[in-house]
Every structure is written in C-alpha cells, then in structure tokens.
Structure 1
Amino acid sequence: MKKLVLVLSVLLAISTVMTIELVDDLGRLVSIDKTPGRVVIASPAITYYLELLDVTHTIVGVTDWDSFALSREVTKIGNLTPLNLEMVLSLEPDLVLISGGIQEVEVEKLERMGVNVFVVNPNSFEDIYRNLTVLGNIFAIPERGRKVATDFRNGVLEVAKDVYNVPQEERPKVMYIMIAGSVSDIWTCGTGSFVNQAIAYAGGANVAAPYSGNNGWFPVSPEFVLNTQPDVILVPYYYEGGQREAVEMITSYKPFAEVPAVKNGRVYPISDSLTAYANPRFIDLVKTLKEYFY
C-alpha cells in the first residue's frame, strides 16, 4: 500500500512539472511548465471558458469589466488596455490569459516582465471548439476539455440540423446592424465573422455574407440596407432595458420604413454580450437567432 501511495505521489509530481507546448491564437508556441494554480484573465471574453471547464478556483484577477467579479471575491486589475502591469505582477500569476486585437501589444510587455501569457482570440465556431480542448490541456484536465468541447459542438450542430434542409431561397434575409453614433454610421458582419456563422447555423441568409473586412466586420451606408432589403434586422443592445431604444433607432429612421424587416416588425434586439466576442455562448446566440428567424 505504501509503495502504491509513493508511486502515485511521484506520478503526480511529474505531472505538475511536465512541460507542454501549445500554439495560441496569435500563432505563438507557448510552454506551460506546470498546471496553473493562479490565473489572471485579462479579457472578459475568456472567463466563460474556465467556468465551463470548472477551473474558476484558479482565477485570482480579472478586469473591471468582467461580470465574474460581481459574485466572486477576486481582485480587479483595471482596464483591458493598457493593462495595469504592476497589479498583474502583484498577483503572482502562473499564467495570464489574454485576447488578441487591441490587447496584442500587452503580450510582449508581459513577456518582458517574465509573465507567461497565452492568447485566446477565437473568431469562429471551430476556434471556440479548439480553445476548449486546448485550455483543458493547459489545466491538466484533457478529458474534461474534450467532453466540454464535444458537448458544445454537438449542441450547436443539433440546432443547425433542424434548419439544414430549409432551401436557401426560403431562408430569411438577415442583416446585423451595429450603429456607431447615428444610423448613417453602420457596421455589419460578413464572411470571417462568427456572427455570420451563427446566422447561417440558425437558418438565416446574411445579406452581407458576400463581403468581409477585419475579422469579418466592415462599415456600410444606409443605402446598403435599402439595396439588400433584409427580412430580419438584428441590432445589439448594451445594457438591460436598452432593447427598445436599440430597436427604435432602426424603426424610427424614415428611409427604412419600407424595408421588409421594419415594415413587418422583425427588427430584433440582441444582447451585445452574445455578439461582442466569440466564446462558448455561441450556442446561446445560435438558439436565440433560430427563435427569431422561425
């Protein structure tokens, strides 16, 4: 019995110091030399991954914009960018999980300070699936990671299966409209965006799908809406209770009065928390869109 306990102790010790090398979403080869016990999450887009993997006990710091801190005793480190590097260092993290985009410049700063950094910056259904698996490996729970990833994938595909046989010509024409200030300043998503993917999985036909931009996002004019005549318009809201205001920005714009989505009362609010960044809540986005479309 003592020999068995000794063997198990040795194996456990080896597993905690064995180095693994993984490629992050910036294409960096990152070495993880021990299972992280203290983790700082520098982007709220990442937190839900750790919740699904049941490793939130490792989180010692999050940004001021992370809802995780509302119900947990955890240190707030400030803004997403520029990061408060001194605050991050004071938490003595084994690993900092960070997004790409505007946060890319922070990666090199952290590395120069000797902090191990892994970038989680998915932009598609496939990226989310892969990141669940990768994070499972980082936290030494590969089986849990594979199961959560598989459940996520199967859940999305189950929704998509219900509308798979709907002919393209019978699918509602959909447009996602994000207004930056006024209706004359519109951003939308096309090929390369996870929101475009979600529209397709939910059985819609994105009128902007033939186009693309940075991560699939690009600006358009109101004329684009008039030319494409969407049956459904999706518009984000940013706080609870902001649904009506978001919808009215579209429905009160007189040039859109004859657009089918406006004319038929099919302008729908959708929480920015589902469309601002790609994470496993992608499945909730797909389910919500399917309800709107059908």
Structure 2
Amino acid sequence: MLYHDQLGRAVEIPAPPQRIISVVPSQTELLYHLGATVQGITKFCVHPAAWFRSITRVGGTKQLDLERIAALQPDLVIANREENEKEQIEALATSFPVWVSDIHGLDDACRMVTSLGDILQRQAAAQDIRRQIENGFRELQPLAAPVPAAYFIWRNPWMVAGGDTFINEMMDRCGFRNVFADLPRYPTLGLAQLAASGCRLVLLSSEPYPFREKHIAEIQEYLPDAEVLLVDGEMFSWYGSRLMYAPGYFGELIAGLYSKSIY
C-alpha cells in the first residue's frame, strides 16, 4: 500500500509490514506499544528492555550499519529526519521502504502515532495512545508565572535546546520560558552567557549527556541564586509512546517548583 511519511514522500509498504527496523529510540518504544514485529533496532533503543536484550542491533542512530540492515531484509525502515543521517537514510531508501518522521511539536508526534498505527494496521491501539497523550497534556497545568529557564543537553562544549526543538515545546507547556528560544536547534554557549541570560531555572538532562549531581555546582558558580535540577531527558525529548507518561512527570516537577519560595 502507498503511504506518505512526514516529509511528504510516497512510500510503498506491504500491509502490514512484518520485518521492521526502527532506527529511532522513541519510535522503537512506540512500536512495542503498538504490537509491531521488529527485527532490528539501534544500540540506543533501550526501551523496552526485553527488546534491547534480544533484538539485533544495527548501530547507532547517526552511524547505522547498512550492511547489517540489508542482511535483515526489512520490509520497512522507520527513521527520523533529525535523529538519523540524511545520506544513510537515502542509501537505505534505494533498496527498502523507508518511512521518515519529522517532529517539531506535540501535534507532529500525535500524527506520527496514528500514521504508524495505520501502517501497522493497529489503528485502535494508536488512537488509544494518542488519546492518552492529548488528554494528559490537556490536563497539565503549567506554572502560573512562566520562569526563565535553560535546558542543557551537553557539556564540553555546553549546549542547550534552542527554540526550534521539541524540547522547547515541552518546556513551554510546563511554563518554563526558554531564555535561548531565539537561537536555532542546539547552540553552544559559555556559562558566562548563561549568567547574563536572566535564567532562574536550569534543567540538566539525563541524555544525551548524562548530567550528574557534580555538575550542578559548575552551573551554580555562575548562577548562585538559580534552581538547578537534574531531569529525565526521555520525558522532554522522546516523542513516541513515552509521551503518555510525560504530563505526570511534568506535573510532579512543577509541584516541586511551587515549593521553592522563588517561584
């Protein structure tokens, strides 16, 4: 059958596909919840744990093992515009059906869920996941007064989430006003620049860089009066079925901030 991916490309996919390779961690987890049959995943596809332990790994998201993928003879490869390398995806598309997602915000993520549900002929499961996600975010109450915030994804060099990211939308839905929203993608900056930004809340993500308690002190040397928190990066950046749990996590995070006198 002919489907269109989120780049607008027409992709001929068997109905339903039986030999799927997923090269995006958040979409791998979604495929599990949709009941898909998956033959290959990346080394970063850690959810679900049972798949991570048992399914063939085909490299990293940016360094796919194209020969291993070809050996698995997939009838569908599920990729993402940002997380995978364009050249590798184009190479795969010459031999196999490749469906590419392009996620900028929550609406894109929800459309991706139902699109994959259609491809897999798991429409009811996909609609249920989408409904849970949309209801959860509808009920989420952001901070009453948005707080200037920064979200770090990397150290050496320090990198933050800019305005045109999925993370930025998740911050906004929590009432965290991204002080670097005027910058594109994932800009590099110095901590002196952070200190001059007016930031009052710093979020240190668990991924892709594994921030730990010891890194909080580095930030507070420059922002002694700011709140610096370690946060679950999967909740802010995984745009598959993990979004069913994100509003609950964000609600607890917001409740914790209300207990701080500066908020």
Q: What is the TM-score of this pair, normalised by structure 2?
A: 0.84
Amino acid at match of 1:176: Y
DSSP-derived class of the 1:281 partner = helix
Q: CA RMSD in A?
A: 2.6
The aligned counterpart of 1:201 is 173
The aligned counterpart of 2:56 is 75
The aligned counterpart of 1:9 is none
DSSP-derived class of the 2:187 partner = strand
- In structure 2, relative to structure 1, the CA distance for the partners of 1:187 and 1:82 (3 Å cut) is closer
Taking the TM superposition and a 5 Å limit, the aligned residue runs for 1:67-146 are 67-68=46-47, 70-72=49-51, 73-101=54-82, 102-112=84-94, 114-146=95-127
Judge which range, 86-95 or 134-143, deviates more: 86-95
Whether 1:271 aligns to 2:232 is yes
- In structure 2, relative to structure 1, the CA distance for the partners of 1:240 and 1:98 (3 Å cut) is closer
Deviations 1:16-75 (A, max 9, x none): xxx2x33223331212232111111122231121123232xx011112222147423211
- Do the aligned partners of 1:122 and 1:279 also contact (CA within 8 Å) in 2? no
- Do the aligned partners of 2:40 and 2:58 also contact (CA within 8 Å) in 1? yes
Amino acid at match of 1:274: M
- In structure 2, relative to structure 1, the CA distance for the partners of 1:35 and 1:241 (3 Å cut) is closer
- In structure 2, relative to structure 1, the CA distance for the partners of 1:249 and 1:52 (3 Å cut) is farther
- Do the aligned partners of 1:203 and 1:290 also contact (CA within 8 Å) in 2? no
Whether 1:213 aligns to 2:184 is yes
| Cα separation, 1, equivalents of 2:250 and 2:59 | 33
Q: Which has the larger radius of gyration?
A: 1
Amino acid at match of 2:147: P
- Do the aligned partners of 1:237 and 1:272 also contact (CA within 8 Å) in 2? yes
The aligned counterpart of 2:222 is 255
Whether 1:36 aligns to 2:20 is no
Deviation at 1:115, TM superposition (A): 0.9
Deviation at 1:190, TM superposition (A): 3.4
Query: Structure 2 unaligned runs (5+)?
Result: 259-263
Amino acid at match of 1:63: T
Deviation at 1:205, TM superposition (A): 2.2
Whether 1:61 aligns to 2:37 is no
DSSP-derived class of the 1:268 partner = strand
Find 1:174's aligned residue among 128, 149, 152. 149
- Do the aligned partners of 1:174 and 1:230 also contact (CA within 8 Å) in 2? yes
DSSP-derived class of the 1:78 partner = coil
- In structure 2, relative to structure 1, the CA distance for the partners of 1:187 and 1:48 (3 Å cut) is same
| Cα separation, 2, equivalents of 1:280 and 1:75 | 22
DSSP-derived class of the 2:77 partner = strand
DSSP-derived class of the 2:204 partner = strand
Amino acid at match of 1:105: E
- In structure 2, relative to structure 1, the CA distance for the partners of 1:285 and 1:221 (3 Å cut) is farther
- Do the aligned partners of 1:61 and 1:76 also contact (CA within 8 Å) in 2? yes
Deviations 1:249-277 (A, max 9, x none): 323xx3333xx31xxxx210013333455
